[in-house]
Amino acid sequence: MALIQMRGRLMPRDDKPVENFAFGQRGTRATLHIGLVNNMPDAALRTAELQFARLLKEAAGGFDVRLHLFSIPEIHRGDDVRARMDGFYADADAIPEAGMDALIFTGSEQLADRLSDEPYWRTLTRLMDWAAAGTVTTLFSGQAAHAAVQHFDGVRRRPLPKKLTGVFASLRTTDDSLLTGVPARATTPHSRKHGVLENDLTSRGYRVLARLMDGSVDLFAREGRSRLIFLQGHPEYGADTLGREYLGDMALFLEGQSERPQVPENYFDRVTENALLALTGRPAQIADYVEVVTGAVPLQSWRGTTLRLFANWIASIAAEKPRRRIARTAATHRSV
């Protein structure tokens, strides 16, 4: 029987396999409760859920980790998606009372001209404020990282000349416990149209932990009551995610709704890239691209590095949680 977070309390569901939500060695150590605030659009919601669930499962090791799913009600959902979420997700307003040790925020599709004009902005930023004080650590992924630094410190993301999509070398810039065992030069996927500048971050107290080869920021952190971790890339991506995103963008192009998408860099082998290039010279259907992309094997694997990163993150939660409990107990005794 699995346990999921619903309306601020744990509720059993007999039809969901336990490994989707409870990971590691149960009962051997204090349970670590991690909440996923899944803001992805409908088409990517389930994918993001599974990617983070599988990642935490593989990285949990000897720790007893429970994943709880939360949603922000102001994010528009289709009826079918909403019906499914009603059985698996709790309202994000329940988070402060739900006993979360850590949170993961995913990005969302930007529909308004400015992030701060999105209908969910007030709820999102209220949750971010709570996370910065009420968790051991919180991780912001992709667009959520941009929203967080804008809210906390007024750091505005900037549009890139073209979409950054592909698998890129990430160079460690400093020693940090989060990067223990991570190679000095690793690889990680990126898929974004915006970025934040290092000078804008460091001038406000952020610490850059890794950069891409072009000098742009990959991974950074901010210290405080909670340690905040920010990812501009998507190390949680599965091996086929960039390929599926490319097919989605290509479908929009073939329907006349967007410009021709670029092929993800350092992702496909040369034969696959040449086959995709050949399709640009003649009328083609999306099925032609699907046939090429689904038959390809990505050039690089980033899974090992990602697992090491998240294993370190989980270990930091386990190490800090008892210290926080002791500090709270001491503060309570002093106030009596």
110 pLDDT band, cuts 50/70/90, is: confident
Tokens 């898929």 identify what position?
191
Residue-level pLDDT at 30: 82
Mean pLDDT, residues 177-205? 97
Model confidence, pTM? 0.89
CB atoms within 10 A of CB 253: 15
Cα–Cα distance list, 51 to 42, 43, 47, 58 (Å): 15, 14, 6, 11
CB 34 within 8 A of CB 101: yes
Residue-level pLDDT at 324: 73
DSSP 104-128: EE------SSSGGGSTTHHHHHHHH
Give the residue extent of every domain in the chain.
2-237+302-335, 241-294
CB atoms within 10 A of CB 6: 21
- The tokens describing 249, both together, are 């963008």
134 pLDDT band, cuts 50/70/90, is: very high
Q: Which CATH number describes the domain made up of 2-237+302-335?
A: 3.40.50.880
112 pLDDT band, cuts 50/70/90, is: confident
Mean pLDDT, residues 204-214? 98
Residue-level pLDDT at 2: 32
